[in-house]
Structure 1
Amino acid sequence: MKLRMIEHRMKTTNLLFCTLIGIGLAGLASAQSKPAPPSVVVAPATMQELQKQDEFVGRVVADQSVDLQARVEGILEEVNFTEGGTVKKSDVLFRIEKRKYAASVDSAQAALKSAQASAQSDKADLDRQQTLFNKGDIPQAILDTAKATYAEGQAAVDEAIADLKIAQIDLDYTEIVSPLDGRIGLSAVDAGNIVDSDSGVLATVSSIDPILVSFFVSEPVLLRERRNGSITQNDINLSTQITLADGGVFPSDGKVTYVGDSVGQDTGTVELRATFANSDGVLIPGQFVTVSLSDPEDPKVLTVPRNAVQFDKQGYFVFSVDGKNTVHRMNIEIGTQSATRTQVKSGLKEGDRVVVQGLQKIHNGLVVKPVDSQS
């Protein structure tokens, strides 16, 4: 009897254990079968100006660019900058051996002192001759000679002063300084070489903040902007945005500050230049960018990326993702469209996130994993 009871208990325990294992495996299988939320790319609805869709190829140019050259002859003792780095106005970039020029300054100073001493002696002699002439002790000819001698002495002083200035200028030229804040290129000569005025450009300094973007517009575009008052004889009221080579948009707008005074006969275009703040040095001379024009007074409208907008028998709609990452179908009324953006007249508000990629795998009410668009 006891043996049978023990066997019964063992069978019951095994059955319970198997049941628990089965429940655990079923739960694990259920957890594994539940799919993860699909990833979708979203972009916000933003206020933009869609009236003009003009885009032009532009090139970044320095507002100022200076070629540095030697103006005196001598051995180049120092090159005091990092090639490709930034420099400040009045920084000493090159230093030429100055001992010869310092000696020339000393010589000129000595010559000036000698001339001044001689002139002082001539003045004293002139004063004596004038006194004697007033007493009638000497003829007019002697007084005239004394006046001429004094005048020659004064001329010698003036010449010595000029020679000293020239010597000092030559001494100053042994230090080649930056005329502006900017970025400097490669050095064309190394320390230890002899340089002079025939050595050519030693290096070039270009300003980088602010910086200019040059682009060319067609004659019809220029006429349109003149007729709508954006370009007048006394003012230019056009702003620009630029897109960089990697597709990124430069963070600040530029202002058109120059409009060419003639139309190119071969191209039928006019050059415009826009000024951009460039404190981070992102823009450098020679870069190619895409330029778009806008009038600051044009109204901005609510827009979404064009590829977010869909159409069915109910009309135009987008899929919006709320704060809990749930998808909602939003019926919208559209307006003006550009190559990349669509105006939304109703149905959305600024900042709403809409799905721009992954539309084929979502539906209303689905929870998703949103990823912000990079464009």
Structure 2
Amino acid sequence: MNRVILNTVFISVLIFSACKKKQPPVSNEIPVNLFKVNAKPVLYYDTYPSTTAALSQVTLLPQVQGAVTGIFFVEGTHVKKGQKLYEIDKKIYQDSYDAAVANRDVAKGTLTQAQQDADRYEYLNKYNAVAKQLYDHAVITLDNAKSQVKSSDQAVKTAKTNLGYAVVYAPFDGTIGFSQVKLGNVVTANSTVLNTISTDDPMAVDFVINEKQLPRFEKLQEQKHQTADSLFTILLSDNSLYPVNGKISVIDRAVNSQTGAITIRLVFPNPKGMLRVGMSCVVRVHSQEKGPQLLVPGKAVVEQMGEYFIYTAKDTMMNNPKAGADSVKNKIKKLVAVEKKVQVGQTIGANMIIKSGINSGERIVVDGVQLLHDGSEITTANKVGPSAGGKGGH
């Protein structure tokens, strides 16, 4: 019995020793992947949501009342300045004009008669051959006849204007929309909306910037004749690039005091009519920064309370825990993570421009940053795979 117990204890000790030998040594090193930073030329754009707008747009209202008797355009098409668009029943206005002309003719005849009477009485008055009262009446009648002619002239002009208003013409070249009235509809002067017409070439593109960016765009506006042709481009809603480049036109009058924003207007040629009023697009402002930039994988950048940090890898001599105090090998080289505060620039896809805080040639941690703090021991041996594998893209 004692022998069995001794054998059991011996086997247990062997098993315990075997399990103990299989356990890996404890390591404080955090596995990471590193990326060597190199400065290089970078092409990028600042992007802004934007909306197309017409440089000129007008709502067509009738100036006279009546039934619509003619529509002379195709909805949604380009029309020319002076093109006939609508006709409102002209009969009543033609009749009014004819009557005004007739009344003017009568007034002119009355004036001729009054002039003759006045001339005759003036001659007789010189020789006291007529009563003074008759002469005075003749002069008054002449003045009244002259006023009547002036009044009838004005009535003819008014009737002619109303007759002209019975036809609605395009005020400028542009695109006309859906007609808001049909044939036979009765319209009211200065009230009923007929249609809307807007200029279409060139087309405006409006976007909003923060007031902090205003000095940059004011400078671009001053230098608009010297800047590169590709400075302003737009992406359409299907993410395709509009084939014509634009230029800065107007900076709005004031900054919104509540939002700190201000509107910028660009102008783009639109010879093929690809742009229409109210389209959503994205303005791209070409970067004018010259010289090489430091571009790093975005996953290497850590944000803390609005500040940005990057961990760099630094070789450091540290005590060797396996060597004795008197050993000549009591120092070994270790890789340590050093936290550095950086100033970030534009985000370009999965990468980010670093404006300051690190230098070209430094190695930065791109995977495993979640486990680090300043001074952490790190290793690239990948004893345990980093949380986000790979070495990060350029």
TM more than 0.5: yes
Q: Secondary structure at the match of 1:106?
A: helix
Task: Name stretches of at least 5 consecutive residues in structure 1 with no aligned partner.
Answer: 1-47, 308-335, 344-375
Say whether 1:289 aligns with 2:249: no
1:275 and 2:292 are equivalent in the alignment: no
Give the corresponding residue for 2:73. 81
Q: Distance in 2 between matches of 1:235 and 1:105?
A: 54
Q: Deviations over 1:339-369 (max 9, x none)?
A: 26999xxxxxxxxxxxxxxxxxxxxxxxxxx
Are 1:236 and 1:257, in contact at CA under 8 Å, matched by a contact in 2? no
| Counterpart Cα distance in 2 of 1:128 and 1:218 | 84
Distance across 2 between alignment mates of 1:156 and 1:108: 12
Matched, 1:339 2:339: no
Question: Tell me, what secondary structure is at the counterpart of 1:188?
Answer: coil
**Compared with structure 1, are the counterparts of its residues 49 and 116 closer, same or farther at alpha carbon in structure 2 (3 Å cutoff)?**
farther
The alpha-carbon deviation at position 71 of structure 1 amounts to: 2.1
In structure 2, the partner of 1:145 is 137
- Measured in 2, the distance between the counterparts of 1:154 and 1:180 equals 41
Cα pair distance change 1:136/1:271, threshold 3 Å: same
Equivalent residue, structure 1, for 2:359: none
CA RMSD of aligned residues (A): 3.2
Shift of 1:300: 8.1
Letter in 2 for 1:339: I
Report the secondary structure of 1:125's partner residue.
Answer: helix
C-alpha contact 1:122 1:153 (8 A) present in aligned 2:
yes
Distance 1:302 1:122 in 2: 94
Q: Number of matched residues? A: 260
Instruction: Give the residue type in structure 2 aligned to 1:137.
Output: A
Q: Is the 8 A contact 2:64 2:190 kept in 1?
A: no
Q: What is the DSSP-based 3-state SS (H/G/I as helix, E as strand, rest coil) of the residue aligned with 2:233?
A: strand
TM-score, structure 1 as length reference = 0.62
Q: Cα 1:49–1:62, aligned 2, differ >3 Å: closer, same or farther? A: farther
Counterparts in 2 of 1:142 and 1:242: CA distance versus 1, 3 Å? same
Alpha-carbon distance, 1:299 to partner: 8.4
Contact (CA 8 Å) 1:244, 1:288: kept in 2 or not?
A: yes
**Cα deviations across residues 323-345 of structure 1 (Å, max 9, x unaligned)?**
xxxxxxxxxxxxx99726999xx
Q: State whether residues 230 and 236 of structure 1, in contact with CA within 8 Å, keep that contact through their aligned partners in structure 2.
A: no
Matches for 1:320-339 after TM superposition, within 5 Å = 339=348
Give 1:243 shift: 1.2
Task: Give the ranges of 4+ consecutive aligned residues of structure 1 lying more than 4 Å apart after TM superposition.
Answer: 234-239, 298-303, 340-343
Report the 3-state secondary structure (helix = DSSP H, G, I; strand = E; otherwise coil) of the residue aligned with 1:169.
helix
2:156 is aligned with 1:167: no
Aligned match for 2:149, one of 140, 157, 161: 157
1:245–1:301 distance in 2 versus 1, CA, 3 Å = farther
Report what 2:220 is aligned to. 230
**Which residue matches 1:112?**
104
Which one of the candidate residues 254, 263, 276 is aligned to 2:255? 263
1:146 is matched by which residue type in structure 2? A
Pick from 119, 122, 129: which aligns with 1:127? 119
* Aligned residue type for 2:165: Y
| C-alpha separation in 2, matches of 1:240 and 1:258 | 14
Deviation at 1:53, TM superposition (A): 3.7
Alpha-carbon distance in 2 for matches of 1:88, 1:75: 24
Is 1:211 equivalent to 2:203 in the alignment?
A: yes
Contact 1:122 1:149 in 2 (8 A): yes
Question: In 2, distance between residues paired with 1:257 and 1:198?
Answer: 33
Deviation, structure 1 residue 223: 2.4
Q: Which runs of 5+ in 2 are unaligned?
A: 1-40, 298-344, 354-394
Amino acid at match of 1:143: Y
Whichever of the two has the greater Rg, that structure is 2
- 1:247 equivalent to 2:239? Answer yes
